[in-house]
């Protein structure tokens, strides 16, 4: 037996011991954001299928974001905003990209309290040299609202840089608490049709063990493609894993069963929940 054959057998033996070996997992996240989850699944031995269904692009109109940045820049003795709440890593990216484009820097945010929903969002803020003053324990808007109820935010000025289309829970509820909320459109999410003509091939030869959704929009766009391609029955053989309850509710509303929801609404939590699912299919939490 040659050395090369021995090495191959040793490598195969090593892979077979990984918890997701032999599993095919489909990732629907935007291509530019999918690296982390793909790497995590591959490290656990899975075969990863990329099928991006959304992509983020700049907004058609920067006026609300530029106005917010102008408000921040105009502050002299006191900051114009009391809080900026970043609801996603994309919101952070596009906000600071525009800030720099307009010739401003992150020091303009000195004196403003910064909130981030989710660790990935918080990390993006830290990369800009700023600290996070608040992050909710549960990475959903409802958790922010519950925590802000304990604070005195009446007449406080709050900026929310976000996607063009987003849930209105956060601005609506903060307004009810007496805050003055500005929504700045920092980016928009659009459908990615790059896999539309290839989607049948993904289900032809082998079973897809898990389909993952990291947002309501990834679920909605993918499931629409599946139905247009006549693959709804094929998907019934796959487990559906979602990053949080909001996405789970969307999938259920569209007529599909959700099999896996992590206890912690993060990429790491989702990966852990999928790993645990194959160890114990009844234990769907992360």
**What per-residue confidence (pLDDT) applies to 14?**
56
Quote the pLDDT of residue 97: 96
- Cα–Cα distance measured from residue 230 to residue 256, given in angstroms and rounded to the nearest whole number: 15
Closest-CA residue to 80 (of 165, 184, 177): 184
Q: State the DSSP code for 257.
A: -
Q: Strand, coil or helix: what is 55?
A: strand
Helix ranges (H only) for 104-215 are: 119-127, 141-148, 169-176, 199-204
CB 240 within 8 A of CB 247: no
Contact 182, 208 (CB under 8 A): no
User: What pLDDT does residue 146 have?
Assistant: 94
Rounded Cα distance between 168 and 216, Å, is 14
Domains of the chain: 11-53+192-279 (3.40.50.10090), 63-190 (3.40.50.10090)
Amino acid 7: pLDDT: 59
Q: Which pLDDT value is given to residue 13? A: 53
Kindly state the greatest CA–CA separation across the chain. Answer: 78
d(C-alpha 216, C-alpha 265), whole Å? 13
d(CA 245, CA 254): 14
Give yes or no for a contact between 46 and 23, defined as CB atoms under 8 angstroms apart.
Answer: yes
pLDDT of residue 4: 65
CB-based burial of residue 224 (10 Å sphere; 0-12 exposed, 13-18 middle, 19+ buried)?
Answer: middle
Q: Report d(CA 34, CA 25) in Å as an integer.
A: 13
- What CA–CA distance (Å, rounded) separates 277 from 194? 30
CA 176 to chain centroid: 27
List, in order, residues 6 or more apart from 47 with CB less than 8 Å away: 22, 23, 24, 25
Walk along the chain (286 residues) in steps of 10 and give the mean pLDDT of each run. Answer: 58 67 94 92 95 95 96 74 95 96 89 93 93 92 93 95 93 96 96 89 86 95 92 90 94 95 92 90 54
243: DSSP letter: S
Helix (H, G, I), strand (E, B) or coil at 263: coil
Q: Are strands 239-242 and 47-50 parallel, antiparallel or unpaired?
A: unpaired
Q: Does residue 90 contact residue 163 with C-beta atoms inside 8 Å?
A: yes
**What pLDDT is stored for residue 281 in this prediction?**
59
């Amino acid at each position: 037996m040659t050395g090369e054959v021995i090495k191959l057998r040793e490598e195969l033996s090593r892979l077979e011991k990984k918890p997701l070996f032999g599993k095919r997992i489909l990732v629907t996240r935007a291509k530019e954001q999918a690296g982390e989850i793909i790497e995590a699944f591959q490290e656990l031995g899975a075969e990863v299928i990329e099928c991006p269904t959304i992509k983020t692009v700049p907004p058609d109109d920067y006026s609300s974001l530029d106005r917010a940045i102008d408000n921040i820049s105009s502050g002299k003795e006191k900051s114009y905003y009391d809080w900026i709440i970043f609801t996603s890593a994309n919101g952070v990216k596009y906000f600071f990209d525009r800030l720099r484009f307009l010739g401003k820097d992150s020091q303009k945010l000195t004196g403003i309290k910064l909130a981030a929903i989710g660790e990935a969002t918080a990390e993006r803020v830290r990369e800009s040299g700023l600290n996070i003053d608040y992050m909710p324990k549960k990475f959903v808007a409802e958790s922010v609202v519950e925590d802000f109820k304990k604070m005195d935010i009446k007449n406080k000025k709050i900026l929310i840089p976000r996607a063009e289309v987003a849930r209105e829970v956060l601005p609506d509820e903060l307004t009810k608490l007496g805050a003055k909320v500005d929504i700045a459109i920092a980016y928009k999410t659009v459908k990615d049709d790059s896999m539309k003509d290839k989607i049948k091939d993904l289900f032809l030869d082998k079973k897809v063990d898990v389909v993952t959704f990291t947002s309501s929009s990834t679920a909605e766009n993918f499931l629409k493609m599946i139905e247009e391609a006549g693959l709804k029955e094929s998907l019934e053989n796959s487990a559906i894993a979602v990053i949080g309850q909001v996405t789970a509710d969307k999938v259920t509303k569209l007529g599909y069963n959700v099999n896996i929801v992590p206890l912690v609404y993060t990429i790491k939590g989702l990966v852990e929940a999928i790993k645990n699912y194959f160890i114990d299919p009844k234990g769907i939490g992360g």
